Amino acid sequence: MDNIVGLGDAFISSSPDDKIKTFALASCVGITAFCSSAHVAGMIHIVLPFRPKNIESSQNPCYYASTGVPLFINSLLEKGCKKSELTVNIYGGANSINFSDCFNIGLRNLHAVQDSLKALGIRYNLADVGGCISRTLMMDVGTGSVKVNTLPIII
Protein backbone atom coordinates (compact mmCIF):
# COMPACT_ATOMS: atom_id res chain seq x y z
CA MET A 1 0.00 0.00 0.00
CA ASP A 2 1.27 3.51 -0.83
CA ASN A 3 1.41 5.89 2.13
CA ILE A 4 1.99 9.58 1.45
CA VAL A 5 3.88 11.74 3.95
CA GLY A 6 2.80 15.35 3.52
CA LEU A 7 4.37 18.56 4.79
CA GLY A 8 4.99 18.24 8.53
CA ASP A 9 3.82 14.64 8.56
CA ALA A 10 5.35 11.29 9.50
CA PHE A 11 4.48 7.66 8.83
CA ILE A 12 5.81 4.45 10.41
CA SER A 13 4.98 0.94 9.24
CA SER A 14 5.83 -2.67 9.97
CA SER A 15 3.99 -4.00 6.91
CA PRO A 16 6.59 -5.26 4.39
CA ASP A 17 4.28 -4.57 1.46
CA ASP A 18 3.96 -0.87 2.31
CA LYS A 19 5.65 1.94 0.41
CA ILE A 20 6.19 5.37 1.98
CA LYS A 21 6.48 8.43 -0.24
CA THR A 22 7.04 12.15 0.12
CA PHE A 23 7.17 14.70 -2.64
CA ALA A 24 9.07 17.87 -3.51
CA LEU A 25 11.64 18.12 -0.71
CA ALA A 26 13.44 21.34 -1.54
CA SER A 27 14.41 23.32 1.58
CA CYS A 28 12.40 20.78 3.59
CA VAL A 29 14.21 17.77 5.04
CA GLY A 30 13.06 14.19 4.81
CA ILE A 31 14.36 11.61 7.25
CA THR A 32 14.02 7.88 6.65
CA ALA A 33 14.63 5.24 9.28
CA PHE A 34 14.78 1.46 8.96
CA CYS A 35 15.21 -1.24 11.59
CA SER A 36 15.70 -4.66 10.03
CA SER A 37 15.46 -6.58 13.33
CA ALA A 38 12.04 -5.11 14.22
CA HIS A 39 10.93 -4.92 10.55
CA VAL A 40 9.94 -1.27 10.95
CA ALA A 41 10.45 1.67 8.59
CA GLY A 42 9.41 5.30 8.75
CA MET A 43 9.67 8.71 7.15
CA ILE A 44 9.15 12.28 8.33
CA HIS A 45 8.91 15.51 6.27
CA ILE A 46 10.37 18.45 8.25
CA VAL A 47 9.42 21.94 7.02
CA LEU A 48 11.09 24.36 9.48
CA PRO A 49 13.92 24.08 12.01
CA PHE A 50 12.17 25.32 15.19
CA ARG A 51 8.64 25.78 16.48
CA PRO A 52 7.89 29.47 17.04
CA LYS A 53 7.19 30.36 20.67
CA ASN A 54 3.67 31.55 19.85
CA ILE A 55 2.63 28.13 18.47
CA GLU A 56 1.39 25.42 20.86
CA SER A 57 3.70 22.41 21.06
CA SER A 58 0.78 20.10 20.28
CA GLN A 59 0.10 21.81 16.93
CA ASN A 60 1.68 19.67 14.19
CA PRO A 61 4.94 18.79 15.99
CA CYS A 62 6.32 16.97 12.92
CA TYR A 63 6.42 20.27 11.03
CA TYR A 64 9.51 21.35 13.02
CA ALA A 65 12.86 19.58 13.43
CA SER A 66 13.06 20.55 17.11
CA THR A 67 9.84 18.71 17.98
CA GLY A 68 9.35 16.31 15.07
CA VAL A 69 12.68 14.48 15.18
CA PRO A 70 12.36 13.41 18.85
CA LEU A 71 8.72 12.38 18.29
CA PHE A 72 9.65 10.37 15.19
CA ILE A 73 12.60 8.59 16.81
CA ASN A 74 10.67 7.84 20.02
CA SER A 75 7.81 6.40 17.94
CA LEU A 76 10.26 4.06 16.23
CA LEU A 77 11.69 2.97 19.59
CA GLU A 78 8.17 2.26 20.86
CA LYS A 79 7.71 -0.09 17.88
CA GLY A 80 10.64 -2.21 19.12
CA CYS A 81 13.56 -0.57 17.31
CA LYS A 82 16.85 -0.06 19.10
CA LYS A 83 18.86 3.12 18.48
CA SER A 84 21.94 1.11 17.54
CA GLU A 85 20.00 -0.83 14.90
CA LEU A 86 18.42 2.13 13.12
CA THR A 87 19.61 3.07 9.65
CA VAL A 88 18.78 6.76 9.40
CA ASN A 89 19.21 8.84 6.24
CA ILE A 90 18.68 12.55 5.65
CA TYR A 91 17.46 14.04 2.36
CA GLY A 92 16.70 17.57 1.14
CA GLY A 93 17.74 20.85 2.68
CA ALA A 94 18.23 22.41 -0.74
CA ASN A 95 19.37 25.98 -1.29
CA SER A 96 17.05 28.47 -2.90
CA ILE A 97 18.14 29.72 -6.29
CA ASN A 98 16.73 33.09 -5.27
CA PHE A 99 19.82 35.12 -4.31
CA SER A 100 17.77 37.37 -2.02
CA ASP A 101 16.94 34.37 0.23
CA CYS A 102 18.58 35.60 3.43
CA PHE A 103 16.89 32.98 5.63
CA ASN A 104 18.82 29.92 4.36
CA ILE A 105 15.98 27.63 5.45
CA GLY A 106 17.41 24.55 3.75
CA LEU A 107 20.73 24.79 5.57
CA ARG A 108 19.04 25.74 8.84
CA ASN A 109 16.71 22.74 8.50
CA LEU A 110 19.66 20.42 7.91
CA HIS A 111 21.54 21.74 10.94
CA ALA A 112 18.46 21.50 13.18
CA VAL A 113 17.81 17.90 12.08
CA GLN A 114 21.45 16.93 12.61
CA ASP A 115 21.53 18.58 16.04
CA SER A 116 18.30 16.84 17.08
CA LEU A 117 19.55 13.43 15.96
CA LYS A 118 22.90 13.93 17.71
CA ALA A 119 21.12 14.97 20.94
CA LEU A 120 19.17 11.69 20.78
CA GLY A 121 22.33 9.66 20.17
CA ILE A 122 21.26 8.61 16.67
CA ARG A 123 23.82 7.92 13.95
CA TYR A 124 22.78 9.10 10.51
CA ASN A 125 23.92 9.42 6.92
CA LEU A 126 23.63 12.56 4.81
CA ALA A 127 22.19 10.57 1.94
CA ASP A 128 21.25 13.30 -0.53
CA VAL A 129 21.28 16.89 0.71
CA GLY A 130 21.87 20.46 -0.44
CA GLY A 131 22.17 21.68 -3.98
CA CYS A 132 19.34 23.38 -5.85
CA ILE A 133 17.10 20.40 -6.52
CA SER A 134 13.75 19.09 -5.37
CA ARG A 135 13.67 15.47 -4.20
CA THR A 136 10.88 12.92 -4.14
CA LEU A 137 11.47 9.90 -1.88
CA MET A 138 9.99 6.42 -2.19
CA MET A 139 10.80 3.96 0.62
CA ASP A 140 10.15 0.22 0.58
CA VAL A 141 9.19 -0.86 4.12
CA GLY A 142 10.16 -4.50 3.48
CA THR A 143 13.76 -3.72 2.54
CA GLY A 144 14.33 -0.19 3.82
CA SER A 145 15.58 0.86 0.40
CA VAL A 146 14.94 4.44 -0.69
CA LYS A 147 14.65 5.67 -4.26
CA VAL A 148 15.24 9.37 -4.89
CA ASN A 149 13.94 11.27 -7.92
CA THR A 150 15.19 14.80 -8.48
CA LEU A 151 14.14 17.87 -10.42
CA PRO A 152 15.68 21.35 -10.56
CA ILE A 153 14.08 23.98 -8.33
CA ILE A 154 12.14 26.47 -10.43
CA ILE A 155 10.88 29.80 -9.13
Domain count, the chain: 1
49 alpha-carbon distance from chain centroid: 12
Residues pairing with 40 in the sheet:
35
User: How far does the chain reach from its first CA to its final CA, in angstroms?
Assistant: 33
pTM, two decimals, is 0.92
Q: What is the domain-level CATH number for residue 7?
A: 3.30.1330.200
**pLDDT, tens digit, for every residue of 66-119?**
999 999 999 999 999 999 999 999 999 998 766 555 678 999 999 999 999 999
18 alpha-carbon distance from chain centroid: 18
**DSSP labels, 12-56:** EE--TT-EEEEEEESSSEEEEEEETTTTEEEEEEE-BSS--TTS-
